[in-house]
Amino acid sequence: MIETGPSADAPRTVQAACPHDCPDTCAMQVTVQDGRVVRIQGDPEHPPTHGALCTKVSRYAERTYHPERVLHPLRRVGPKSGPPRFERIGWDEALDEIAQRLGAIAARGPGAAQAILPYSYAGTMGLVQGESMAARFFHRLGASRLDRTICASAGAAGLEATYGAKVGMHVGDFAHARLILIWGSNSIASNLHFWTYAQQAKRAGARLVCIDPRRTETADKCHEHLALRPGTDGALALALMHELVAHDLLDHDYVARHVEGWPALRERALQWPPERAAEVCGLEAAQIRDLARAYATARPAAIRLNYGMQRAHGGGNAVRLVALLPCLTGAWRERGGGLLLSASGWAAPAIDGAALARPDLMPAPLPRIVNMSTIGDDLLREASPGFGPRIEAVVVYNSNPVAVAPQSGRVVAGFRREDLYTVVLEHFMTDTADLADIVLPATTQLEHLDVHASYGHTWVLLNRPAIAPLGQALPNTEIFRRLAQRMGFADPCFADSDEQLARAALRPDRVDVDALWSRGWQRLPVPERPFADGGFPTPSGKARADTPGLGVPDYLPNHESAASTPALAARFPLAMISPPARHFLNSTFVNVQSLRSIEGEPLLEIHPDDAAPRGIASGQTVTVFNDRGRHRCRAEVSTRARPGVVNGLGIWWRKFGPDGTNVNELTHQRLTDLGRAAAFYDCLVEVQAGEAPAELEPAAGPGGP
């Protein structure tokens, strides 16, 4: 059934799916002629995709055929402190060496393989090329487990604490809303296909309100923009609740029947009059009052919450508070009312994660868990009873930690350890691949089979390979299959083909696999107006204002802010957020010339009121710094930044930065309240024109806050 290999002369169309970490998970149609991809388009029939792809992914062929694709296994020559120099080696040589190095660590005795760490995230969201054969391999090996916290785990924990699962509105139902709060989301940049529905609602008369410290391109297109201080969303939500109570705007019937623990939260909300929140958030009290009234009286009222607002100390609690708003007003009652942060909980029952990843292959006692958001510190940690063995080998796939993990100074120092054995499966020589011992060429989405679920809509999708692998590239699955064989892993699951893995991923009672194979996508069974009459996936069926073990949610100030760390704020008075650049996907596409030339160069937006006293003009080189490091980039003096907050758009490859750094040189490794996540947007800095004085050089060696 699966077409591979070179085609005949006539162009043919292959049904595919966008692999990227984006809520939209588009259905794509790939046109192939003479074995080469000539065009990539959105599938016009797939409802959320609607025939449209973003600028980035319509350039996916440019990325696949990029002249700098890694197409052969490579071995490092020269020290990690020096320039990245590699020699070409054969697959057998590469895999023999890796199997020998990993095998030697594992052979030291029970638990020893925990010195090996797999590091992966969402370079592809595919269920097959993500955590299937790779997970089986590391489970059987007994390697450390990775806590995948770098993106969404604070919000996920907040949502689960409140609704019981990561469930929310149908994205298409936003078209029916009369009011939409776009909260912590630059939808035009990062959730374009939601934006189409929001536009439909707007044309039908809906009011759009954007809640975001940055005046994004999305904020420009909304009727109103509340530019709150980063990390203060919880205070805003509490004040909105205050107004709902004070002006009796609650849906008492919905609250009584479908919300648990409201009386305790009500007491807390009453301590948050709009004036108090206005002070914390940097807003006007009148804006908060107006928003509360508008939200409670518009029917249907919808909230598109996104992960931008949970990358701060109190991110998990903030999500809990915001997620309760539609439960207090009964917004869930109508089609077009409610909230969407993630829809992945709707797909979860359709996916057989255990069949894919085979956690039963793990040894007892279970290997330790290492948090991916603290990889910098963890690579530099010595063995200890609390931590376990020192990390001696890292295998990276579907991720670029040297660019994307917080506090890069520590991450780079860790990956530079000469005694660390690093294997990177990649398409390109990323900042992480530059520090590898072995680089293995991986296939792209056009070259391998996969199946996808989405966290922003409720379809599953098939991705057929459109072309044969370029050069000597292999799918992640095949690389781990071959490694398993060399390690002598005899379980028959290590022989499963990609097609077997794809079929095993989906539960036949939920997904008609044959229909998926023939059409390329299939809608999951999800109720209309899912919580119109309660029925949240919690034990009681009620949304939880008071969650066992967590209590009632609260506003938690940032790790770093004028209120929580005044001495630090005196030295580093500006808050920095580092949201995605529109034409990159995290650190993917940064090396695609046509997209990089749109983004230009690493940029820091700074408000005129902050730029003037520092003598900073647009276009000038500036140094952004704090105790963790310094990062040079170009200033853009702009009211896209609010006073007191600078925006460093991400995520550039370090090596494209003027001084070989990116914004993560400044971020820290402290975690969020829930979900053990990175708090990227909770960060204080100072900015000065030109280059920073030498005494601001960060101290070498371990340290950090």
Ligand X SMILES: Nc1nc2c(c(=O)[nH]1)N[C@H]1C(S)=C(S)[C@@H](COP(=O)(O)OP(=O)(O)OC[C@H]3O[C@@H](n4cnc5c(=O)[nH]c(N)nc54)[C@H](O)[C@@H]3O)O[C@H]1N2
The answer to whether residue 579 forms part of the interface with ligand X (CB under 6 A) is: yes
Closest separation between CB of residue 122 and ligand X, Å? 4
DSSP label at 18?
-
The answer to whether residue 212 forms part of the interface with ligand X (CB under 6 A) is: yes
Tell which one of 162, 399, 561, 591 touches ligand X (CB under 6 A).
399
Closest separation between CB of residue 227 and ligand X, Å? 9
Copy the structure tokens of residue 109.
């005795």
414 to 453, contacts with ligand X by CB under 6 A?
425-428, 430, 442
576 to 605, contacts with Mo ion by CB under 5 A?
none
The answer to whether residue 651 forms part of the interface with ligand X (CB under 6 A) is: yes
Residues 6+ apart with CB under 8 A from 108: none
Instruction: Give the count of residues interacting with ligand X (CB under 6 A).
Output: 59
For 127-161, b/e burial (b = at least 16 CB within 10 A) is bbbbbbbbbbbbbbbbbbbbbbbbbbbbbbbbbbb
Stretch near ligand X under the rule CB under 6 A, chosen from 208-216, 384-392, 516-524, 559-567: 208-216
Q: Quick one: 254 or 584, whose CB is closer to ligand X?
A: 584
| Pairing verdict, β 574-577 and 684-689 | antiparallel
Tell which one of 54, 151, 182, 331 touches Mo ion (CB under 5 A).
151
> Could you say which of ligand X, Mo ion, none residue 306 binds, taking C-beta under 5 to 8 angstroms by partner kind?
ligand X
* Count of C-beta atoms within a 10 Å radius of residue 109: 7
Q: In the Cβ-directed half-sphere of 125, how many Cα atoms lie within 13 Å? A: 20
The position carrying tokens 């971020």 is 667
Q: Quick one: 20 or 313, whose CB is closer to Mo ion?
A: 20
CB-based burial label for 355 (10 Å; 0-12, 13-18, 19+): middle
Strand, helix or coil at 575?
A: strand
Site map (CB under 6 A) of ligand X, residues 236-275, x = contact: ----------------------------------------
Copy the structure tokens of residue 74.
């490579």
Instruction: Give the count of residues interacting with Mo ion (CB under 5 A).
Output: 1
Q: Quick one: 162 or 664, whose CB is closer to ligand X?
A: 664
> Could you say which of Mo ion, ligand X, none residue 663 binds, taking C-beta under 5 to 8 angstroms by partner kind?
ligand X
Q: Quick one: 269 or 585, whose CB is closer to ligand X?
A: 585
Closest separation between CB of residue 681 and ligand X, Å? 4
> Could you say which of Mo ion, ligand X, none residue 22 binds, taking C-beta under 5 to 8 angstroms by partner kind?
ligand X
The answer to whether residue 585 forms part of the interface with ligand X (CB under 6 A) is: yes
Residues 6+ apart with CB under 8 A from 381: 387, 390, 391
d(CA 373, CA 674): 13
DSSP label at 144?
P
d(CA 328, CA 243): 11
The answer to whether residue 150 forms part of the interface with ligand X (CB under 6 A) is: yes
Tell which one of 42, 73, 123, 338 touches ligand X (CB under 6 A).
123
H-assigned helices in 222-261: 233-246, 252-258
d(CA 342, CA 454): 9
d(CA 265, CA 327): 13
Tell which one of 15, 41, 49, 129 touches ligand X (CB under 6 A).
129
Interacting residues toward ligand X by CB under 6 A: 21-22, 121-124, 129, 150-152, 183-186, 189-190, 211-214, 216, 230-231, 233, 306-309, 312, 397-400, 403-404, 425-428, 430, 442, 476, 577-580, 582, 584-588, 650-651, 663-664, 667, 680-681
Q: Which residues here bind Mo ion, judged by CB under 5 A?
A: 151
